[in-house]
C-alpha cells in the first residue's frame, strides 16, 4: 500500500494514507514499515485536539494505532483497501466501508468473506493484485463518479 501511495501522491497533492492494523500487536510492525518508507507520518495516539491542525498538513500517512476508531475513518475515506487480502489467507471484512458507501479494493485473498465475489461482480468492489493497486487507486481518484457509484453499489449490497 505504501508503494501504491507513493506512486499516486505526486499526482494528487494532499493525498493521505491511513494504515489501520486490525490487531494492536501489529502497531509496532506497521510503524517500522512506515519509518523504512521514509514518508512523513504521525500516529493517531499522538494527535490531540490542540496538535491536529499543526501536524496533519505536514504528515502524509496516519497510523491508526488506536482501537475503536476505524468506522469513523471509513466514514471520511474516499476508498477502503483491504490490506491483508494481498498476501496470506483470509482478508478483512469489507462490510464496514460498504456501510459507509465506500468503494472497496481487495487483493486475491478474501477467503473468509466469500460474498466479496458478489460485490466484485456488481461493481461494488474491485479485486487487483499488489502490482495493480496503484493503477486502481489512480483510476478511482481520477474518476470520482466511478468511485461514488461503486460505493453506492457496496452500500446497496449490504
Three-class DSSP category at 62: strand
98-148 pLDDT, tens per residue?
999 999 999 999 999 999 999 999 999 999 999 999 999 999 999 999 999
Note the pTM of the prediction, 2 decimals. Answer: 0.91
What Å distances lie between residue 84 and 23, 31, 104, CA to CA? Answer: 12, 16, 13
Residue 80 has pLDDT above 70, yes or no: yes
Tens digit of each residue's pLDDT (9 = 90 or more) over 31-54: 999 999 999 999 999 987 666 554
Banded pLDDT at 57 (limits 50, 70, 90): low
For position 51, what pLDDT does the model report? Answer: 62
Here the cell at position 54 is: 499543526
Interacting residues of 66 by C-beta distance below 8 A, sequence separation 6+: 44, 45
- What CA–CA distance (Å, rounded) separates 156 from 119? 10
Amino acid at each position: 500500500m505504501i508503494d501504491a501511495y507513493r506512486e499516486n501522491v505526486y499526482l494528487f497533492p494532499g493525498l493521505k494514507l491511513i494504515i489501520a492494523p486490525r490487531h494492536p500487536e501489529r502497531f509496532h510492525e506497521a510503524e517500522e514499515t512506515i519509518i523504512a518508507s521514509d514518508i512523513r507520518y504521525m500516529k493517531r495516539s499522538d494527535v490531540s485536539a490542540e496538535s491536529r491542525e499543526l501536524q496533519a498538513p505536514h504528515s502524509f500517512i496516519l497510523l491508526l494505532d488506536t482501537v475503536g476508531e476505524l468506522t469513523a475513518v471509513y466514514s471520511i475515506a474516499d476508498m477502503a483497501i483491504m490490506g491483508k487480502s494481498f498476501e496470506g489467507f483470509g482478508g478483512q471484512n469489507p462490510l464496514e466501508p460498504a456501510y459507509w458507501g465506500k468503494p472497496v479494493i481487495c487483493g486475491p485473498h478474501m477467503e473468509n468473506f466469500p460474498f466479496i465475489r458478489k460485490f466484485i461482480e456488481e461493481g461494488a468492489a474491485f479485486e487487483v493484485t499488489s502490482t495493480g493497486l496503484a493503477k486502481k487507486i489512480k483510476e478511482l481518484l481520477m474518476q470520482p463518479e466511478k468511485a461514488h457509484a461503486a460505493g453506492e453499489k457496496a452500500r446497496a449490497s449490504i
